[in-house]
């Protein structure tokens, strides 16, 4: 009889202990949200990776980057990739996405510019002045090739084709291209000495001691190099803050340091 009467008290004690020992649910934290996914042109790799910690510290939101040619990234967005921000290296691919209602047009900003340069390996003795009819083919030698982005899709290759056409030398080198899938790959072929000359952006050449700038293309020889940025149509909450950050003083100073030009 006495033993049976003790069971209700014992059960209540067990429930009390279990209730106080149960861990409480963790408080929501901004850093526990999924990272913001930024699709960015390959030429932006170094500067955006440099800026990422400052944004993450200020916002409490993590970033994840996918760097490639603007053409590749735009087609991935079209195929349904869950990017929050698209940061391209020309306006054509931004227009491509906007025409398909895959961007938020009101967030679109032309943020940066760049310059187009002819590069050679750091130890090369090649000297060329870029002007109409300049001896680009001769400078490549008997079997040398010119490294740049694929002119059919990659922005730097498009700019290069336009510049060489304007200067009257495109037909001399059109069949001697290394058609790289992005500007960083084009740079790599010259770094390694696998191509005696290449056409890349000034910002890429600036940070690479393994190459040197032979000359800079006249700005009038090709369309303006423009880097637009926008939120995608499916951008998550908080993504707009990243674009605001890119327009701020800290980011603008970094872009200048890495060789980009700032657009008004």
How confident is the model at residue 116, as a pLDDT?
Answer: 98
Q: What is the SS3 assignment for the chain?
A: CHHHHHHHHHHHHHHHHHHHHCCCCCCCCHHHCCCEEEEEEHHHHHHHHHHHHHHHHHHCCCEEEEEECHHHHHHHHHCCCCCCEEECCCHHHHHHHHHCCCECHHHCEEEEECCEEEEEECCCCCCCCCCCCCCHHHHHCCCCCEEEECCCCCHHHHHHHHHHHHCCCHHHHHHHEEEECCHHHHHHHHHCCCCCEEEEEHHHHHCCCCEEEEEECCHHHCCCCEEEEEEECCCCCCHHHHHHHHCCHHHHHHHHHCCCEECC
What pLDDT digit, counting tens, does each position of 117-173 carry? Answer: 999 999 999 999 999 999 999 999 999 999 999 999 999 999 999 999 999 999 999
User: Percent of the chain beyond pLDDT 70?
Assistant: 88
CATH of domain 116-221: 3.40.190.10
Binned at pLDDT 50, 70 and 90, residue 175 comes out as very high
What pLDDT digit, counting tens, does each position of 11-48 carry? Answer: 433 333 344 334 433 333 344 478 999 999 999 999 99
Q: Which fold has domain 35-113+226-262?
A: D-Maltodextrin-Binding Protein; domain 2 (3.40.190)
How confident is the model at residue 42, as a pLDDT?
Answer: 96
How confident is the model at residue 22, as a pLDDT?
Answer: 40
| CA-closest candidate to residue 230, choices 250, 246, 254, 249 | 246
Residues of the chain with CATH 3.40.190.10: 35-113+226-262, 116-221
Q: Structure pTM?
A: 0.85
What pLDDT digit, counting tens, does each position of 202-228 carry? Answer: 999 998 999 999 999 999 999 999 999
How confident is the model at residue 33, as a pLDDT?
Answer: 78
User: 2 pLDDT exceeds 70?
Assistant: no
How confident is the model at residue 129, as a pLDDT?
Answer: 98
User: 232 pLDDT exceeds 50?
Assistant: yes
Lowest mean pLDDT segment, chosen from 1-10, 86-95, 127-136, 242-251 = 1-10
193 against 22, higher pLDDT: 193
């Amino acid at each position: 009889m006495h033993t049976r009467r003790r069971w209700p008290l014992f059960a209540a004690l067990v429930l009390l202990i279990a209730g106080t020992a149960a861990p409480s649910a963790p408080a929501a934290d901004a850093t526990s949200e999924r990272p913001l996914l930024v699709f960015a042109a390959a030429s932006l790799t170094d500067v955006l990776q440099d800026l990422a910690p400052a944004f993450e510290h200020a916002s409490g939101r993590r970033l994840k980057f996918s760097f490639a040619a603007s053409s590749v990234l735009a087609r991935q967005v079209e195929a349904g990739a869950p990017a929050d921000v698209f940061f391209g290296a020309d306006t054509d691919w931004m227009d491509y996405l906007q025409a398909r209602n895959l961007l938020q047009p009101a967030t679109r900003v032309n943020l940066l510019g760049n310059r187009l340069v002819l590069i050679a390996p750091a130890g090369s003795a090649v000297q060329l002045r870029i002007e109409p009819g300049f001896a680009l083919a001769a400078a490549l030698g008997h079997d040398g090739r010119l490294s740049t982005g694929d002119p059919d899709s990659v922005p730097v290759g498009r700019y290069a084709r336009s510049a060489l056409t304007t200067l009257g030398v495109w037909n001399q080198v059109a069949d001697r291209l290394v058609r790289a899938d992005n500007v960083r790959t084009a740079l790599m072929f010259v770094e390694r000495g696998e191509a005696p000359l290449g056409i890349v952006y000034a910002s890429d050449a600036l940070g690479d001691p393994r190459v040197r700038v032979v000359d800079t293309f006249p700005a009038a020889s090709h369309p303006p190099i423009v880097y637009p940025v926008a939120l995608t149509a499916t951008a998550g909450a908080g993504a707009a803050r990243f674009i605001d950050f890119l327009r701020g003083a800290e980011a603008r100073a970094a872009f200048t340091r890495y060789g980009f030009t700032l657009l008004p």
